[in-house]
Amino acid sequence: QKEVEQNSGPLSVPEGAIASLNCTYSDRGSQSFFWYRQYSGKSPELIMSIYSNGDKEDGRFTAQLNKASQYVSLLIRDSQPSDSATYLCAVAPYNQGGKLIFGQGTELSVKP
Amino acid sequence: DTGVSQNPRHKITKRGQNVTFRCDPISEHNRLYWYRQTLGQGPEFLTYFQNEAQLEKSRLLSDRFSAERPKGSFSTLEIQRTEQGDSAMYLCASSLPGANYGYTFGSGTRLTVV
């Protein structure tokens, strides 16, 4: 089992719809969870972090964490073509000094 | 604060040659990380430093790879006797210490081994 798993996609949604991206992780003691956005040919950019169970909202983005189910998700409301990118889930496992383990990424395509 | 800087942006080398990449982190960040990313995959951890101390090196990392951060500021990643399988994007990131801080990535160095 991979440490961090994501649906590889591609995920295609129409403009204005909600995009839902999912991630599961294997280390039950993991402390911190991050979502990065990566445009083609560019480096990853941090867009959301979450540490406690529940929802965290920032503009059109909502991160959801369920530690019991070892599940993290990212919702993007009112999706725009500029949201088309690969979204990487990253997890900080317990007692590993803040090192992040990344999933393989989910490619999102928002169609006008 | 100019962010994380990586040089060179691109490197093409012949198989068997040695290459060295440089990373300048954000000045307040004492954690520095190296990752490798191939097409369609997420970044794969290579090694990380806190100040000048190398705290962890991936078990998957060949002995041909070495990294240094001599004065706790910039870091270099050297690959000796490059192989075609080393072709990838090499990403450097920096952060404040602790698990609650996300990384800031540099633009990466794209290595092509021919």
- In order of A61, A101, B10, B89, the CA distances from A57 in angstroms are 6, 23, 37, 32
Q: Is A11's Cβ below 8 Å from some Cβ in B? A: no
- What pLDDT does A95 receive? 78
Mean pLDDT of B59-69: 91
Q: Which pLDDT tens digit goes with each residue over A51-106? A: 999 999 999 999 999 999 999 999 999 999 999 999 999 999 887 777 899 999 99
Percent of chain B with pLDDT over 90: 82
CA angle B70, B75, B78 (to 5 degrees): 105
> Average per-residue pLDDT in chain A?
94
Mean pLDDT of B1-10: 90
User: Which residue of chain A comes nearest to B6, CA vs CA?
Assistant: A43
Q: How far is CA A37 from the centre of its chain?
A: 8
Contact A11, A72 (CB under 8 A): no
CA angle B26, A92, A18 (to 5 degrees): 95
- What pLDDT does B1 receive? 53
- What pLDDT does B99 receive? 66
How close A52 gets to chain B, by Cα (Å)? Answer: 11
Task: Identify the band that residue B10 occupies on the pLDDT scale cut at 50, 70 and 90.
Answer: very high
Task: Identify the band that residue B102 occupies on the pLDDT scale cut at 50, 70 and 90.
Answer: confident
